[in-house]
Each structure stands twice: as C-alpha cells, then as structure tokens.
Structure 1
Amino acid sequence: MLKNVRIVESLDHEQWDKYVYEHPRGSIFHTRHLVDVFRRTKNYCPLFLAAVDEGQQILALLVSVRVQTLPNPLGKLSSRSIFYAEPLCSDEPRGVEALSALLAEHDSRLRGKVLFSEVRALHAAGSEQEALTRQGYEHNGYLNFLVDLRQPSDVLWGRLTGSCRSNIRRGEKHGLTIEEVTCDKGVDTLYPILNLTYGHAGVPLADKSLFTHALRILQPLDMIKIFAAYHSGQPVGASVVLLYKKVVYEWYWGVQRIKSIYPAECVTWHRINWGQQRNYNFYDFGGAGWPHKPYGVRDFKAKFGGDLVNYGRYRKVYSPWMFSLGERAYEWRRKLTSPTKWLAGRRAPA
C-alpha cells in the first residue's frame, strides 16, 4: 500500500458527490444514492471502498455489489460480485497504485463469498485497466450500443431500421400509448411484467425492493423514470431508466408480444426520443452480449441506429471448479423454462 494512503468505507457526502460527478468515467453506479438503494435491496450487499491520501484527497474509488440468487446454503454457489461500472482512479501512478490496493482489499473480502467478480465497463479502457490487470482480472470483449442524443429527433428517427419505424407506426395506429409512471403505481405496474418476463426467460430477477427503494431514493433527485405501455387500457410493457450526467441508462424492461402492436419497439423509441427532447447527450443500451455469440437482444437493439462499441468486461474467478459448477447449475435452471410470448430486457445480462 502507498505510504500515507488509507482505505475507507465512507466519505463526506459532498466530497463523494463531487469526485464522481467530476471524474470523466463517473456514473450513476458510483453514486452514494445508488449504493444506498443496493444496501436496502434484498439479496444485494454493496461494498464501497475509497483510497484517500493524507490530505483526504480521493485517489481511487470502487463500488461492487454481491448479488445472491439462491437462498442459503446455496448462497455462495449463486453469488457473484458485480461492478456495474469500472472503478475510478486518477491517471497518475499513485492513482493506479491506490486502485490496485482497493481491488486487493475487495478480493480479500469477497473471495470466500462469491464465485467470481465481474467489472462491466461503461467506457473505453483507461488507467483503471492497469490496476485490474495487476490484480488478475481478465478482460474479454463485450458489446453495447450508444445513441448520440445530441442529434435532432428526425435524424435519430431516420437511423432506425425501416422495419422498426414501420412497427412503431403500426403500434401507434392500433392504439398503443406510453405514459410516464414514476411513482408507486409505476413500480406496481413494472414489477409483475418483469416477473413474468424473467420467469419465462429463466433468468433471475432482482427483488421488488430494488425498484421500490430506487424510486424512493432516486425520484426526488430526478435520477429515475418509469414508463408503461398500454393497449386497450391494459399494461403490455414497462421499463425503468436511470439518469445521471446527461446520460439515459437503460436498466430493466419487459413487454408482452402482441401481434401488430409492437410494444418493444414503441417503448424503446419513446425512451430514446424522451431523452433527446430533454437535452440528454447519450442513451446507453446497457449491454449487447459477447461478440461472436448469437444474442437476440443485440439484434433487437441494433434496430435503433446506435453506435456499436466493445468496451468489454473484466472477470476474476476465485475457484474455477466452483465456477464451472455454478455455470452448469445456472444453465440447467434456465432450461427448465423457455421463453414464450414474453421478451426480456435488462441493463446487465448474466
């Protein structure tokens, strides 16, 4: 560890807010507000660490979340530590050294509790990559789409594929409407749709407490929006986005497939256009799968004219044989059910 540098688990709120906001890679996933949401969510256990020097200057910062999808005694077999954004550090050598120390501390705490740790990068690699590599994190390609919202709405519309535009028009013609429902009613509309969606897809869904607390903590700060799609007075789709530093982050969504209605296309375009009209800079689709592996969600997201990027993910496996066992158990669970008329979307596919 660097001389006169301490690892801390809390910071002055103003200092924390300022560091994340001013850091070029600072995101909503580094904020104390989302850490608070994660802390209150069932089966989520966040870890916040920062390295500060003798003058209380922040040199590095990380946020991870231990996510457990099965009850004990199968907790470790179903748990992983997720960094929903890359850790932050200053570019000089001291910053990289400090982050390396933070990662070592993180690994020492989580090694016996999770199968692996995964860093889901939101940007092209920076100085944090050196620290991650030093600590044994392996980098692999992972795709995403980013839409530049600084373009006029008609230009964004023109970048959609022709079939996507046609489907949106058909949905509108058949009476599909979309409303903002950023309130308790919105969570009550959103969660049953997500629950059915993820259940049919065989993918674990976060507990409802994630969305309940996200609404209560983030909504007063204008950092969250919930949208619902209705047809004949019934909800047929819903989605939630996170908002920070002029970026709209796609988080979770689900829709019911109804012939000639196309709620998936309609609600996705609505989110993009909503962001453009409110002067956001980018729409982050939240992931598009591993390169060279077929992924239907990537094909869907490609319709919206975003720029395909490959910022990748970093992963560190603590026990290869346990990881292999956990992967087989996960795939077996997924095959117990198969998707039917539901289409799922979330920020961070497993």
Structure 2
Amino acid sequence: MLALHRVEPASALHADRATYQDRLIFHTPEWLSFVAECQRAEPVLAILRDDYTTVGHFTGLLARRYGLRILGSPMAGWTTSYLGFNLRPGVSRRAAMQALTRFAFDDLGCAHLEVRDRGATEADLAGLGLRWDAAPTAVIDLSPGEDALFGAMTGACRRNIRKAAKSGVVVEEAEPGPAFADEFYDQLRDVFAKQNLVPTYSVERVRSLIRHLAPAGRISLLRARDGEGRCIATAVLPWYHRTMYFWGGASYREHQHLRPNEALIWHALRWAKARGVTEFDFVGGNAYKAKYGTTEVAVPWARQSRSPLVARLRDTAKQAYAWKQRTAALLTRP
C-alpha cells in the first residue's frame, strides 16, 4: 500500500523531484515560496513510498483558516495551479489520492483538503469520498510551426492580431520589478471595473510573484505599447521546462479596440516556442480562449472535509468572498 511521509524542504530526497517528467513550475521552491508568502502558509513536501521504494512526491501548503488546519494543493484563490503529485510511470494516481487523504487527516490532523493534480482524471477520484469540480483548462500544443499555430486560430483572432500590428501596437519584454507590477495592476483594476468588481488580490501578490520567480528566469513579463508609446496592455507569464502559463493579462478598456491582448498572446506563443516550450496553458477554460485554437483538458479540482460542517463552512466562505468583492467595488466606484 502506498503511503506519504513528510520530509523537510532541505532534505536531500528533494533532488529526486527534479527527475520527474510531470514536474511543473508549481512544484519548484521558488513558486512555493511565493504562495507561502502571500497565503501565510507552510509548504508541505512528502515522498510517496511503496514499502521502502520512493515512487513519487506530493506538494502542498498547510494553512490555518477560522482556527482549522487545511491542506491546499492548492486552495481556490491562491492564484496557483496543479500542485498535487509527481509520480513515476505506472504508479496509480488513484492509490496516491487514497494515501493523501490518510496523510492529510490522520498524519497532519487537517479538517479540510483540496487538491488539483494535472495528471488526475475523474476515474482516479470516483468512490474515494471526494467532491470535485471538472475545472477544465485550455491549452495550445506549440509543436507545430508558427504558420500552423496562426492558422489554428479563428479568422477573427487572426484579423485582430494583424490589426494590432497595423495600428502600431508593439510588444516588448519588460524588466521585472515593482514598476511593471504597478502597471499591470492598474490595468487589472480597469478590467474588473468593467464588471463592477475589484481585483481578487492586491498588487503585492504580483510583486511577490515577480520577486520570487524572476531571479530564476522563470517568468516572462510582456508590455504592449500603442503607436504613441503608451503602455496599454500587459501579461504575466510564468514558464518552466515544457510549459508556459497565462497567470494574468490586463489592458485599458479605452485602448482595447487596438487589440493589444491578442498581440500579447501571439508574441508569447512565439517567444515560448523559440525557447523549446511545447505547451501553452491558459490555466482555465473561459470561452474567449478558444479563439486561439486551444484544446480543452479536464483537470478535476477535488476536496474533502473531515465533517459536513467544515464542508459547509468552505462553501459559505467562498460565497462570502464573492459578496465582499462586489461590495468593495461599489464602495470604490467613482
């Protein structure tokens, strides 16, 4: 039977993590430091053993909310994705999930567990007492040539990219730092204001992300300027190994007719492809992303609580957060 054993971050066993083919940026020390800082959470790293043989690793963070210990891998609202497991080929993800519930509730004494594992399917979760949402994501295979990638987009999307170029929109790579974070966040406020909302996180989270990932060269920051040199759109794109992720994009409403958002994505796809990246992940399945020629991939978001009361508290907290966000928007509206 598979079992998880917690290990210290400095353990020599973690050198083994880098050898797994399913390792993602979200499993790296830099990313975990970012999430831990923003969520006041403690990284939880564990090895998965089959008797005495290490067959995988688990990554999560331990946080305390309302006096309860929760294990998030990740939790909703953490602006991170696909923590979960790194497994050797042939190791059952279903068996790993069973080991995780024992580890979370028995070993760590948690009241609630959430996990989103990039390799898991609904079949891996069925019958384990977990609740889950489908939570699909939209991805683009970057293996084809540039002409094929461009041709896979809808006609309207291709026209918008051409329009941006004809209108003088230029995309540049920005220097990492607080100045870019402030630019992005100002535009993000404008995006949310369109729906009478406010951003779900502060500018400090953007600064933290850049601060932790930039020294390792694991983030691309793009800025779109109009013909007069004004910054009208930005994009934040972490990347590692084979995948680039769309962490965030924003633009001013008054300049969206110039189509800078499509220009940013097209630039990002080519930038990533030139560096050997083979997949672009939008980290979500919103309908507007389909115009880029995406394929939908199901990545279940599973959760389990020690008691029905804790499950209700989790759902109530999520609803309360949405209400708080709308109320804040009304209070800050000019």
Superposition deviation, residue 93 in structure 1: 7.0
Residue equivalent to 1:241: 237
Superposition deviation, residue 134 in structure 1: 6.8
Q: How do residues 48-59 of structure 1 correspond to structure 2 at under 5 angstroms?
A: 48-51=44-47, 58-59=54-55
State whether residues 51 and 98 of structure 1, in contact with CA within 8 Å, keep that contact through their aligned partners in structure 2: no
Residue equivalent to 1:348: none
Residue equivalent to 1:344: none
Q: CA 1:262–1:88 in structure 2 vs 1: closer, same or farther (change >3 Å)?
A: same
Superposition deviation, residue 181 in structure 1: 0.9
Residue equivalent to 1:321: 312
Q: CA 1:334–1:217 in structure 2 vs 1: closer, same or farther (change >3 Å)?
A: closer
State whether residues 224 and 232 of structure 2, in contact with CA within 8 Å, keep that contact through their aligned partners in structure 1: yes
Q: CA 1:260–1:315 in structure 2 vs 1: closer, same or farther (change >3 Å)?
A: same
Superposition deviation, residue 110 in structure 1: 7.4
Superposition deviation, residue 27 in structure 1: 0.9
Residue equivalent to 1:251: 247
Superposition deviation, residue 249 in structure 1: 1.4
State whether residues 171 and 264 of structure 2, in contact with CA within 8 Å, keep that contact through their aligned partners in structure 1: yes
Residue equivalent to 2:213: 218
CA RMSD after TM alignment? 3.5
In the aligned structure 2, how far is the partner of 1:44 from the partner of 1:280? Answer: 32
1:142 matched to 2:135? The reply is yes
Task: Name structure 1 gaps, 5 residues minimum.
Answer: 69-73, 289-297, 339-350
Q: How do residues 173-188 of structure 1 correspond to structure 2 at under 5 angstroms?
A: 173-184=166-177, 185-188=179-182
Residue equivalent to 2:8: 10
Residue equivalent to 1:308: 296
Residue equivalent to 1:161: 154
Q: How do residues 276-295 of structure 1 correspond to structure 2 at under 5 angstroms?
A: 276-288=273-285
Q: CA 1:313–1:181 in structure 2 vs 1: closer, same or farther (change >3 Å)?
A: same
Normalised to the residue count of structure 2, the TM-score between the two structures is 0.78
Superposition deviation, residue 66 in structure 1: 6.2
State whether residues 182 and 225 of structure 1, in contact with CA within 8 Å, keep that contact through their aligned partners in structure 2: no
Pick from 101, 104, 116 the counterpart of residue 102 of structure 2.
104
Q: CA 1:58–1:216 in structure 2 vs 1: closer, same or farther (change >3 Å)?
A: farther
Normalised to the residue count of structure 1, the TM-score between the two structures is 0.75
Deviations 1:32-81 (A, max 9, x none): 2211222222x34143230366998644433234689xxxxx9679x993
Residue equivalent to 1:272: 269
Q: CA 1:220–1:28 in structure 2 vs 1: closer, same or farther (change >3 Å)?
A: same
Q: Secondary structure at the match of 1:206?
A: coil
Superposition deviation, residue 195 in structure 1: 4.0
Q: How do residues 179-198 of structure 1 correspond to structure 2 at under 5 angstroms?
A: 179-184=172-177, 185-198=179-192
Residue equivalent to 1:343: none
In the aligned structure 2, how far is the partner of 1:80 from the partner of 1:170? Answer: 47
Q: Which amino acid aligns with 2:183?
A: T
* 170-179 or 200-209: bigger deviation: 200-209
Superposition deviation, residue 150 in structure 1: 1.2
Superposition deviation, residue 200 in structure 1: 5.1
Q: CA 1:244–1:329 in structure 2 vs 1: closer, same or farther (change >3 Å)?
A: same
* 134-143 or 276-285: bigger deviation: 134-143
Q: How do residues 110-149 of structure 1 correspond to structure 2 at under 5 angstroms?
A: 111-112=110-111, 117-123=113-119, 125=121, 130=124, 136-149=129-142
Superposition deviation, residue 180 in structure 1: 0.8
Superposition deviation, residue 89 in structure 1: 3.8
Q: CA 1:14–1:300 in structure 2 vs 1: closer, same or farther (change >3 Å)?
A: farther
Q: CA 1:220–1:167 in structure 2 vs 1: closer, same or farther (change >3 Å)?
A: same
Superposition deviation, residue 255 in structure 1: 1.7
Task: Name structure 2 gaps, 5 residues minimum.
Answer: 75-80
Residue equivalent to 2:78: none
Deviations 1:233-258 (A, max 9, x none): 22221111111112111112212232
Q: CA 1:64–1:205 in structure 2 vs 1: closer, same or farther (change >3 Å)?
A: farther
Q: Percent identity among equivalent residues?
A: 22
Superposition deviation, residue 140 in structure 1: 3.2
Residue equivalent to 2:323: 332
Q: Which amino acid aligns with 1:39?
A: A
Superposition deviation, residue 183 in structure 1: 1.4
State whether residues 167 and 260 of structure 1, in contact with CA within 8 Å, keep that contact through their aligned partners in structure 2: no
In the aligned structure 1, how far is the partner of 2:218 from the partner of 2:282? Answer: 16
State whether residues 7 and 46 of structure 2, in contact with CA within 8 Å, keep that contact through their aligned partners in structure 1: yes
1:81 matched to 2:76? The reply is no
Deviations 1:272-305 (A, max 9, x none): 12112222111111111xxxxxxxxx22100001
Q: Which amino acid aligns with 1:138?
A: R
State whether residues 81 and 110 of structure 1, in contact with CA within 8 Å, keep that contact through their aligned partners in structure 2: no
In the aligned structure 2, how far is the partner of 1:92 from the partner of 1:13? Answer: 25
Superposition deviation, residue 264 in structure 1: 1.7
**Number of residue pairs aligned between Structure 1 and Structure 2:** 313
